[in-house]
């Protein structure tokens, strides 16, 4: 049983201390501890959540989002370009992290997006093979069951309305059905695969997929309810070269403790990881000085380059005779009972999001795409001339502009939710279309505000701080409206509820509505980017923090440029790849 006490942990010395037992952290811990001579400690702030129906039953997704037992209650700063709104930023807390609370959508990013990571100075992060290199993360039509991996399956039933929406989408020229969205090509419309175990229809998380099958490994230790505060680094005055991480300080039941290790890997997610680095003296000297922390490693990229997927929703009321089984019915006790009985019988129950469409702007809106791309180029050119973009950002923008012109790389996503969002409305028959943006030009930041590790950092995603991001967002609304106005969906719809016709028609109306409605998808990346140091990088392609000899970062926040896919697959791949990197390093 890897769960150990604080007293046991503080008396030992570990080969690796992994801070954060979430999606990447548990994949990494499990892989590293395959070598029984390697001792691994995971330090996780939350609880275990083993065999918890709130996590395991897929259709419970969304139900714990306000429960601090499962979720960090992060919020953003007031967002000036979204009418000063403060947005919630939930993240999973406890073993499994965000894999416990996510919406179970499983897909693989397009190859071009992953290639862009390599182009930015990261040899070895090769696109096409990135996910395929890890068979435990690849969909297998025969549902091969491999110990210690994530099982992926398609939902047991699709919704009747799925076909209606899909048939409408397929009327758009050049949109095709994709049979296997895990194959690396997600440009088209597809039935959504999910991290649901086909044997028992339970959600597979980083905890149940990676950790639980290895609970007897004696070299794998896990501390829960221990919140890491900082990493203890050698003194720069005496180090002479790269600094050495020797220990992690954490809080358990209001007391501070220290655990020692030969290497430390940060996997505490995009919000907490930069905060822990700053409290350890790693970051921008100006920011560290503001909070009274001595500089150990001068790394201005810490907490910067934040990128996030944003989305807008449009809701439509269906005709009384239209086919729809909606989530809102879950508030009806009889429907809920029937759903639970169906689930308990082993027949499964609809797990959540079933249909997805990813398409390029030129397919969604051929009439306007050329002009929009031109305006994007002009905006980037003006930014370059202003001299204000931080080091390395223009290179990212150039890749983004190239990608915006690549019709095989999707920028827009439409996802269907059967019901009203975010508040249920069971008395009406509603469907909500989600329109998502995948390649934002806006960049934000996350920084510690005080030396108190338990006080949340200042989270400023700086959403929609470029005109092009607002423009692309309203293109999502136009696409969703186009789908709704196409047969056979058109005949099923009684009226548009949001944005609402005829009040919101012009681009000007849509921009104002978007500012009041845009939300974030919880796919934050970039806050400790894997980039060359002079381009605001924090880690090198071997995941090592610049200026350190044994401090690593291995979760989503190392990804320097956003990709068109939901994020969990990449988080798992980072954990797996980090294990490969650290293991081969050990063999050198
Ligand atoms: C509501 C929601 C819905 C989502 N839906 C989808 C989806 O449908 N499909 C998809 O692909 N992706 C989805 N995602 C995104 C995806 O789940 C995450 O991007 C991914 O799981 C993040 O993995 P991670 O390892 O970077 O972080 P996490 O899994 O969040 O792990 C970070 C871990 O670190 C721990 N931690 C934090 N601070 C400390 C500290 N100081 N000390 C110790 N431990 C600490 C946390 O408690 C957590 O366990 C969703 C995310 C959310 C939040």
Q: What pLDDT shows up at residue 562?
A: 97
Q: Whose CA is nearest to atom 45 of ligand 1?
A: 20
Output the six-digit token pair for 432: 């909500």
Query: What DSSP assignment string belongs to 241-264?
Result: SSB-EEEEEEEETTEEEEEEEEEE
Q: What is the mean pLDDT of residues 179-189?
A: 79
Any ligand 1 atom below 6 A from CB of 308 = no
Output the six-digit token pair for 56: 């395991």
Is the pLDDT at 142 greater than 60? The verdict is: no
Q: CA-based angle 150:413:423, to the nearest 5? A: 85
Catalytic residue, candidates 309, 438, 447, 566: 566
Any ligand 1 atom below 6 A from CB of 58 = no
Output the six-digit token pair for 70: 């499962």
Q: What is the mean pLDDT of residues 414-422?
A: 82
Pocket test for ligand 1, best of 9, 67, 101, 102 (most atoms within 8 A of CB): 102
- Please identify, by atom number, the ligand 1 atom nearest to the C-alpha of residue 93: 47
- Tell me, in angstroms, the distance from the centre of ligand 1 to residue 99's CA: 6
Q: What is the mean pLDDT of residues 110-121?
A: 90
Lowest mean pLDDT among 2-16, 167-181, 367-381, 543-557: 167-181
Residues 6+ apart with CB under 8 A from 333: none
- CB neighbour class for 1 (10 Å; exposed up to 12, middle 13-18, buried from 19): exposed
- Please identify, by atom number, the ligand 1 atom nearest to the C-alpha of residue 65: 1
The tens digit of pLDDT for each residue in 431-488 reads 899 999 999 999 999 999 999 999 999 999 999 999 999 999 999 999 999 999 999 9
Lowest mean pLDDT among 158-172, 315-329, 479-493, 546-560: 315-329
Q: What pLDDT shows up at residue 238?
A: 74
Q: What is the mean pLDDT of residues 6-26?
A: 98
Lowest mean pLDDT among 144-148, 158-162, 582-586: 144-148
Collapsing DSSP states into helix, strand and coil, what is residue 87? coil
Half-sphere exposure (Cβ direction) of 372: Cα atoms closer than 13 Å: 23
Half-sphere exposure (Cβ direction) of 294: Cα atoms closer than 13 Å: 7
ipTM of the complex: 0.99
* Residue 507 falls in which region: left (phi positive, over 0), alpha (psi -120 to 50) or beta: alpha
Q: Are 572 and 23 in contact (CB under 8 A)?
A: yes
Please give the Cα distance from 72 to 60 (Å, whole number). Answer: 18
Output the six-digit token pair for 317: 């009321």
Q: Is 49 a catalytic residue?
A: no
Q: Are 553 and 266 in contact (CB under 8 A)?
A: yes
Q: What pLDDT shows up at residue 141?
A: 46
- CB neighbour class for 199 (10 Å; exposed up to 12, middle 13-18, buried from 19): exposed
Is the pLDDT at 146 greater than 60? The verdict is: no
Helices (H), 90-213: 111-119, 160-169, 206
Q: What pLDDT shows up at residue 326?
A: 66
Known binding site for FAD: residues? 23-24, 102-105
Is the pLDDT at 159 greater than 90? The verdict is: no
- DSSP summary character for residue 143: -
The tens digit of pLDDT for each residue in 195-242 reads 888 778 889 999 999 999 898 999 999 999 999 999 999 988 776 789
Please give the Cα distance from 405 to 182 (Å, whole number). Answer: 24
Residue of 153 and 133 predicted with greater confidence: 153
The tens digit of pLDDT for each residue in 303-354 reads 999 999 999 999 999 888 876 666 666 667 887 787 777 777 766 655 567 7
Confidence of residue 291 (pLDDT cuts 50, 70, 90): very high
Q: What pLDDT shows up at residue 136?
A: 62
Residue of 554 and 408 predicted with greater confidence: 554
Phi and psi of 557, rounded to 5°? Answer: -70, -10
Q: What pLDDT shows up at residue 339?
A: 73
Any ligand 1 atom below 6 A from CB of 46 = yes
Q: What pLDDT shows up at residue 185?
A: 77
Residues 6+ apart with CB under 8 A from 64: 54, 55, 70, 71, 100, 101
Q: Which residues pair with 552 in a beta bridge?
A: 265, 544
Is the pLDDT at 586 greater than 70? The verdict is: no
Any ligand 1 atom below 6 A from CB of 90 = yes
- DSSP summary character for residue 448: -
Q: What is the mean pLDDT of residues 129-141?
A: 59
- Tell me, in angstroms, the distance from the centre of ligand 1 to residue 185's CA: 25
């Amino acid at each position: 049983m890897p769960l150990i006490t604080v007293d046991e942990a503080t008396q030992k010395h570990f080969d690796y201390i992994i801070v954060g037992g979430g999606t990447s952290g548990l994949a990494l811990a499990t892989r590293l501890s395959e070598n029984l001579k390697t001792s691994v400690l995971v330090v996780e702030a939350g609880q275990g959540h083993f065999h918890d129906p709130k996590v395991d039953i897929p259709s419970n997704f969304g139900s714990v989002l306000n429960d601090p037992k499962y979720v960090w209650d992060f919020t953003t700063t007031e967002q000036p370009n979204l009418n000063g709104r403060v947005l919630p930023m939930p993240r999973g807390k406890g073993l499994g992290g965000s894999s416990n609370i996510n919406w179970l959508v499983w897909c693989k990013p397009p190859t071009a997006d992953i290639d862009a990571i390599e182009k930015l100075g990261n040899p070895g992060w090769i696109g096409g093979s990135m996910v395929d290199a890890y068979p435990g993360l690849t969909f297998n039509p025969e549902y091969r069951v491999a110990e210690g991996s994530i099982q992926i399956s398609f939902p047991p039933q699709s919704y009747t309305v799925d076909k209606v929406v899909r048939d409408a989408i397929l009327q758009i020229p050049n949109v095709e059905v994709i049979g296997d969205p895990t194959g690396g090509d997600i440009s088209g419309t597809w039935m959504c695969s999910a991290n649901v175990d086909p044997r028992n229809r339970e959600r597979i998380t980083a905890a149940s997929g990676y950790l639980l099958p290895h609970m007897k490994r004696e070299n794998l230790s896990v501390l829960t309810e221990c919140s890491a505060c900082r990493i203890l680094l050698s003194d720069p005055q005496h180090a002479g070269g790269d600094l050495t991480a020797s220990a992690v300080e954490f809080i358990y039941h209001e007391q501070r403790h220290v655990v020692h290790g030969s290497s430390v890997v940060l996997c505490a997610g995009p919000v907490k990881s930069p905060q822990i680095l700053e409290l350890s003296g790693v970051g921008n000297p100006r920011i560290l000085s503001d909070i009274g922390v001595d500089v150990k490693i001068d790394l201005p990229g810490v907490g910067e380059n934040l990128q996030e997927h944003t989305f807008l929703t449009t809701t439509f009321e269906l005709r009384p005779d239209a086919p729809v089984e909606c989530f809102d019915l879950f508030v009806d006790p009889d429907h809920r009972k029937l759903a639970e009985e169906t689930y308990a019988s082993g027949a499964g129950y609809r797990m959540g999001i079933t249909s997805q469409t990813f398409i390029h702007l030129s397919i969604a809106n051929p009439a306007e795409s050329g002009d929009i791309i031109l305006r994007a180029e002009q905006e980037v050119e003006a930014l370059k001339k202003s001299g204000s973009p931080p080091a390395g950002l223009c290179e990212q923008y150039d890749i983004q502009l190239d990608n915006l012109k690549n019709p095989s790389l999707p920028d827009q996503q439409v996802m269907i939710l059967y019901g009203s969002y975010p508040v249920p409305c069971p008395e009406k028959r509603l469907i909500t279309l989600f329109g998502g943006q995948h390649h934002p030009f806006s960049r934000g930041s996350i920084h510690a505000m005080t030396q108190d590790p338990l006080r949340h950092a200042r989270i400023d995603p700086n959403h929609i701080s470029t005109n092009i991001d607002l423009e692309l967002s309203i293109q999502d609304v136009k696409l969703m409206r186009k789908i709704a106005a196409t047969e056979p969906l058109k005949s099923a719809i009684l009226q548009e509820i949001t944005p609402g016709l005829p009040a919101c028609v012009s681009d000007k109306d849509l921009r104002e509505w978007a500012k009041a409605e845009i939300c974030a998808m919880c796919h934050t990346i970039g806050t400790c980017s894997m980039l060359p140091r002079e381009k605001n990088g924090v880690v090198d392609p071997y995941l090592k923090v610049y200026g350190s000899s044994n401090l690593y970062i291995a979760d989503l926040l190392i990804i320097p440029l956003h990709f068109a896919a939901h994020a969990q697959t990449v988080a798992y791949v980072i954990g797996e790849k980090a294990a490969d990197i650290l293991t081969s390093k050990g063999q050198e």
